[in-house]
A and B are shown apart, each in its own frame.
Chain A
């Protein structure tokens, strides 16, 4: 990983002063500098949501939430790894929802806080994937679950919006609920159903 021809930058990660080539991600820089790092490391590709970091850049008062494997180090950057939060308190099982007419009532029973959204925008600001989280919650409240779910296609369940929400809505779980009920009640592909029927009636066998 040594890379001497590149520009070196200095930054702080979890309070440690670190010097690393500018082409490295925050996690790579930590390893490069010889610090152990086991927790908060996952796929290293930006899809698992494990490596949540708070970032403040030089000459910028703003703090942003990012993913440590996706954020390249910069001079004067301050980075702190966040602990992954405990899971949401919302529980539900899809097979408790009797039919698709019942989805909206069940949604309000499972996620009662969703209607209390203050539109503070905290969830939108924290989302490392740039999802319009707040709008998604609004759509789910209206019962427009397919549309709500589609907003969350890139959601990696990093739970940052959950951490940010003052009303404990767990917006990412609202998004996932919206996606799941859409699949559970509305994806009925005829090509799949025909094939299942052919298998059930033993029309398709394997000759080894």
Chain B
């Protein structure tokens, strides 16, 4: 990467041109070429072909492929004497999708256990502050929402899934209000809407820049007040299968009691979220601490089909300075409110409201070609012109973006006066587990909802469609899982599906000592934490 202009010098230059109108230069580019040359998905050597499993022979990011083709963390011996619990619906993951599924299934009378690796609500949902898409504006229709979503995803999304999601949009907002969630409204009580990158109408509804926080605290309170059993600090480490290879529950590790529990369930809903904490291509991430792709690994082992494993979203506005906050997200809401991006030469270089992959690639190009701002060990970035936004809309930053103001305080920067330095941050897994319109995977009795599932976003997701997806499909899966559960009996369950998987791994000469799912990023040192020693007897036994 060529060096850009040093931070102080670039800031002085920025302030010289501050207050003048920044015209957008001619930015007509070949988007395909821009992505190919600069998007991190196309970094040399980062993609491999999978060698085992349902997607054998298909493209996958190298780091994700390692985990998908890893060995199990447990074997039969770990389950000897483990407690067994039965339920109708087991939900794995306590973010927005898991909560929406749990509330729906419980309301329909199913016995529900929701298990989550950390605490209920610890998820990317709580951090997704920009807003949620729903076509309610008079100039908008579900059809336009559908067209925008498909185009934003390079026409590679599953059309049936997208149609269901956009038609669900308005009712999702009503459902959230009925749970007690607030939205920003105008003086007449109508929902305020704004654009997002890639939308052709004002469609994002929001609550300040705390949409996900508001959503998550309301859903959490709602779940805790229903007849839903919630297990904290209890990650799933393996799925259970019956004699036909259908999903029949999961093995849950209780981190507080340090033991494994077998949960036999008539239906399992996987809602484990994304993969940001795998730090693909060594990128910083905007993701929650627990976003390590566990659900992908577990469903793949049970034979589920995945898709688009070579496509990830790098959000354009991750904080690049100061160093200790690198990767922290600045909501796209700031750009949709009108903030521009300025390079070290004081120029705009891309329409800030193009789709995220386009904008991110343009930022990476500016920095690669020497027009970035060099902040030393923090790395390189370009300006997000928040002072310009505040100049054109006096007071907007303090009024609309309290979280941005907080971030500024931590950075020692007043965003109304000084621009923030940004660079793309690993944000979202565009693909995931193949599902139908009810979240049903290719494995019977196994559902996936939210970021762990794939198909809704093609190869690029638009802002606000993730919060819509989690509620839309969370409710769909919760409903169907609750219904279908009544008709089945609990079967004999085991982890017998690991046998063929391990044979395939051996034949493909995969390193059998790499265990998955990852559960926590390596810098948390879970695998060397003495507190959890008892959970690792498998490995110790092999070493003896």
Contacts and interface: CB of A to CB of B under 8 A. Distances in A.
A195 B289 contact: no
Interface stretch (A54-62, A111-119, A132-140, A182-190): A182-190
Contacts of A99: none
Interface stretch (A9-17, A74-82, A151-159, A161-169): A151-159
B220 A38 contact: no
B444 interface: no
Interface in A48-104: 48, 50, 70, 72, 84, 87, 91-94
Contact of B122 (A28, A43, A182): A43
Contacts of A37: 524-525
A23 B225 CA distance: 41
A5 B180 CA distance: 49
Q: What is the predominant secondary structure among interface residues of chain A facing chain B?
A: loop
A47 B159 CA distance: 34
A91 to B, nearest CB: 5
B485 to A, nearest CB: 23
B377 interface: yes
Contacts of B524: 31, 36-38, 41
A5 B325 CA distance: 17
Contacts of B324: 23-25, 28, 72
Interface string B119-131: 1011000110100
Given A36-B524, A173-B221, A182 B529 contact: no
Interface string B500-532: 000000000000000000001001111011111
Given A38-B255, A42-B289, A206-B143, A93 B225 contact: yes
Interface string A167-194: 0000001001001111110011111100
A93 B226 contact: yes
Contacts of A44: 288-289
B261 interface: no
Interface string B136-180: 111001110010000000000001100100110011011001111
A205 B145 CA distance: 11
B181 to A, nearest CB: 6
A3 B188 CA distance: 53
Contact of B180 (A153, A181, A191, A204): A181
B258 to A, nearest CB: 12
Contacts of A7: none
B119 A42 contact: yes
A84 B233 CA distance: 12
B138 A191 contact: yes
B233 A94 contact: no
A116 B170 CA distance: 42
A43 B166 contact: no
B406 interface: yes
A31 B525 contact: yes
A31 to B, nearest CB: 5
Given A187-B182, A206-B167, A92 B127 contact: no
Given A48-B121, A190-B190, A153 B126 contact: no
Given A153-B208, A196-B174, A47 B167 contact: no
A44 B218 CA distance: 20
A31 B529 CA distance: 12
B178 A189 contact: no
A181 B180 CA distance: 6
Nearest to B207: A153
A191 B171 contact: no
B118 interface: yes
B129, B402, B525: most-surrounded residue (chain A CB, <10 A): B525
B185 interface: yes
Nearest to B143: A206
B526 to A, nearest CB: 5
B135 A195 contact: yes
Contacts of A190: 188-190
Given A36-B524, A206-B146, A192 B170 contact: yes
Contacts of B42: none
A180 B121 CA distance: 17
Given A38-B529, A184-B180, A154 B402 contact: yes
B217 interface: yes
A47 B118 contact: no
B143 A204 contact: yes
B141 A45 contact: no
Contacts of A45: 127, 328-329
B79 interface: no
B213 interface: yes
A42 B402 contact: no
B319 to A, nearest CB: 10
B205 to A, nearest CB: 8
A22 B240 CA distance: 47
Contacts of A91: 224-225
A68 B135 CA distance: 39
A170 to B, nearest CB: 11
Given A36-B525, A39-B233, A196-B170, A189 B119 contact: no
B402 to A, nearest CB: 6
Contacts of A205: 142-143
Interface in B367-422: 377, 402-403, 406, 410
6 contacts: A45-B328, A183-B177, A188-B189, A189-B189, A191-B137, A196-B170
Given A1-B523, A156-B217, 17 more contacts: A3-B323, A34-B525, A36-B528, A36-B529, A38-B526, A38-B532, A47-B210, A48-B126, A180-B221, A183-B218, A190-B190, A191-B138, A192-B170, A195-B135, A196-B170, A196-B174, A206-B167
